[in-house]
Structure 1
């Protein structure tokens, strides 16, 4: 019998006592049942309450150019708010696990939605390879995995790829943004065949104008005859 095994929980408790995990927003020590965010900060986040509704702001913003089965977002992204601090942590603060945790909570809200059962695969929106190398991770992949943990649908984070980085879109009109993205995404012919006629769930961190998601969806509809649904963690 390995007597050292009994010391592991003791050492872990010792470390946690003197170096407790802190809330990502308020820096207060987390209680044993809390993960990443304290209960107070978690409850203060501006939830959309869209849940399983097929008619909501996310669906409205994406509607028109591309047909979607359903679309939803979990949190509003408001200026100078806890949600704006949180997305900075998730994208640039080396805290993608927070995005995964929030995505798990998000998925519990809509897992009873009957449209979920028809999804075949989850695709996170890919980063350009150079941006992925610079950042070290794709936060949308973590979000997709958090959703997958709850709904038990596989994630594929390599089939859909980003061809090139597009120029800044901050001062472009909506149509120009969409056109700017049109040739951004691609897949191999093998993957086009593999995902032909599938219901694909596209997952991203933030929905702003929707140009990126519409471009990815357009590509998948054209080259895979796919049906598309969308979930984003935040909506601006």
Structure 2
């Protein structure tokens, strides 16, 4: 099954400083058909105005991955971590037994990012945070694992769930085939450009939900930057 979820059908909320689109039910947006996709619980497409952001607030028992598309985000948390994550790079926070954090756009421009939440394999884990750069040239023409709960993915950031977050950049006309299994739940979003997933076409910031397949092929119609979650 491949289901394209057009950007125009996503949930929306605009608080002035935050212009958000919700691929799944979140805050004041609820769609019983879009509560989660396997263990993938949240995919928010956020635009955060300059010199604003999320003040300190708590989380527990959730894997939270932030993929910065434009600008940068500055993270601080109750574990003493602080870091600035720039466009194309990734940060992860395993909330575990509980952590309080803030996420601010300290830049002079709007920051645009994907915020992804995945349900952990077990509750009560030790909380942690990490970030690292992932140069886009390193994922040219292929999917590269950015965050993973699998031990073999030694070059990826660690998350506490049986999932991978992957990124790819494809030139127009390029294709990449991704092997999977019918029990997995894949969800991908072209951050830029338009793509074809097997025979289905998706535009920039549309969601594509995939399950029940042994593999699928992504072809770039235009130059595209793609982010994907492979979840249980």
Q: TM-score, normalised by structure 1?
A: 0.28
Q: TM-score, normalised by structure 2?
A: 0.29
Structure with the higher helix share, 1 or 2: 1
Structure with the higher strand share, 1 or 2: 2
Q: Over alpha carbons, which structure has the higher Rg?
A: 1
